[in-house]
Amino acid sequence: MPLFKRFDGDLVRDVPPTRAIMPYIMTQRAHAQVLFEQELDVTRLMEDLARRNASGGPKLTLFQAYVHAAVRTLAERPRLNRFTAGPHLYQRKKIEIGFSAKKAMTDDAPMVVVKRAFSPTGTFEEHLTELRGGLEEGKSRELSTSDKEMRLFLKLPPPAVYGFVKLAGWLDARNLLPKAVIGHDPLYASMFVANLGSVGLEAVYHHHYEWGNCPIFAALGRVREQTDGCATRKVVTVRYNFDERIEDGLYCARALDHLRGIIEGWGEGSPA
């Protein structure tokens, strides 16, 4: 039983012994990674987005639709929205998605990462508002909160930076790291989504970070055409890196089936 409470999660008390022992024998997130690959048929989704975009207004994208589907999946499969801190398992209090964005589509433009909280019952339009706010924050000339914090720490000599990272990890495992340090950090999130398709790349299996408590990394590839017989459809590959200390693979696989249903069942009207 931890001595202190966390601001970002509630202790899960009814953990089966086989899962409760995992953080003790797999002390690092990299030890517990499980890789999944998912191919999604986005034919109907892309047709619907094209119709909406033809009517004007801010452009709608596959990435936005995927994040909406991920939020709905985390809301309806809540045991995926958990994390470990030290040897303990916590239910996250919010659904928060981290993602990256280039400030400009050039080789030298910096990459920034941001985090946004989403309503578990929000509509696609409501989630779009949060996403666009995050993208505007990332692409603005102002530094994000995380960038400001990192720049501050990097002014210290390297031994001090190493020392701070080790100290912060020790404090976080004991629920003593303050909200001011990690509240805006994109690696303290329900899920991190990398949209590689936006720069024409195929999906990869993204590595985990030992910093933070994000248990799921998803990488979206580019949309491509695939012909089956006489029919041509649009598909996208998504690759996942999942920390199995939070939940078993079957629960995760069924959650991915739920996400597939949202994406492939997308219709002309407003999605659920």
Q: 184: domain CATH number? A: 3.30.559.10
The pair phi, psi for residue 221, each rounded to 5°, is: -90, -170
Residue 272 domain-assigned?
A: no
Domain of residue 200: give its range.
9-264
Residue 4 domain-assigned?
A: no
Q: Is 57 exposed, middle or buried (0-12, 13-18, 19+ CB in 10 A)?
A: exposed
What pLDDT, in 10s, does the model give residues 17-41? 999 999 999 999 999 999 999 999 9
Q: What is the pLDDT of residue 229?
A: 77
User: Distance (Å, rounded) from C-alpha 43 to C-alpha 40?
Assistant: 9
Q: What is the pLDDT of residue 141?
A: 61
Q: What is the pLDDT of residue 149?
A: 73
DSSP state of 84: E
User: Distance (Å, rounded) from C-alpha 239 to C-alpha 214?
Assistant: 16
Largest CA distance in the chain: 63
User: Distance (Å, rounded) from C-alpha 36 to C-alpha 133?
Assistant: 30
Of the two residues 239 and 149, the one the predictor is more confident about is 239
Determine the straight-line distance between the first and last CA of the chain, rounded to whole angstroms: 39
What pLDDT, in 10s, does the model give residues 197-242? 988 899 999 999 999 999 999 999 999 999 887 788 999 999 999 9
- The arithmetic mean of pLDDT across residues 41-69, rounded, is 93
Q: What is the pLDDT of residue 50?
A: 94
User: Distance (Å, rounded) from C-alpha 78 to C-alpha 252?
Assistant: 11
User: Distance (Å, rounded) from C-alpha 39 to C-alpha 37?
Assistant: 7
Residue 241 domain-assigned?
A: yes
pLDDT band, residue 246 (cuts 50/70/90)? very high
Residue 271 domain-assigned?
A: no
Task: Tell me the percentage of the chain whose pLDDT exceeds 70.
Answer: 89
- The per-residue pLDDT of the chain, averaged, comes to 89
Query: Per-residue pLDDT for 140 more than 60?
Result: no
User: Would you state the torsion angle of the CA atoms of residues 40, 44, 48, 54, taken in this order, to the nearest 10 degrees?
Assistant: 100
Cα angle value 41/46/48 (rounded, 5°): 120
Residue 188 domain-assigned?
A: yes
Q: What is the pLDDT of residue 154?
A: 83
Query: Per-residue pLDDT for 166 more than 70?
Result: yes
Of the two residues 14 and 141, the one the predictor is more confident about is 14
User: Distance (Å, rounded) from C-alpha 239 to C-alpha 247?
Assistant: 18
Residue 2 domain-assigned?
A: no
Number of domains in the chain: 1
How far is CA 242 from its chain centroid? 11
What pLDDT, in 10s, does the model give residues 92-129? 999 999 998 765 555 555 677 889 999 999 999 999 98
Query: Per-residue pLDDT for 70 more than 90?
Result: yes
- The arithmetic mean of pLDDT across residues 125-140, rounded, is 77
pLDDT band, residue 142 (cuts 50/70/90)? low
Residue 269 domain-assigned?
A: no
Residue 1 domain-assigned?
A: no
User: Distance (Å, rounded) from C-alpha 42 to C-alpha 263?
Assistant: 7
Q: What is the pLDDT of residue 119?
A: 96
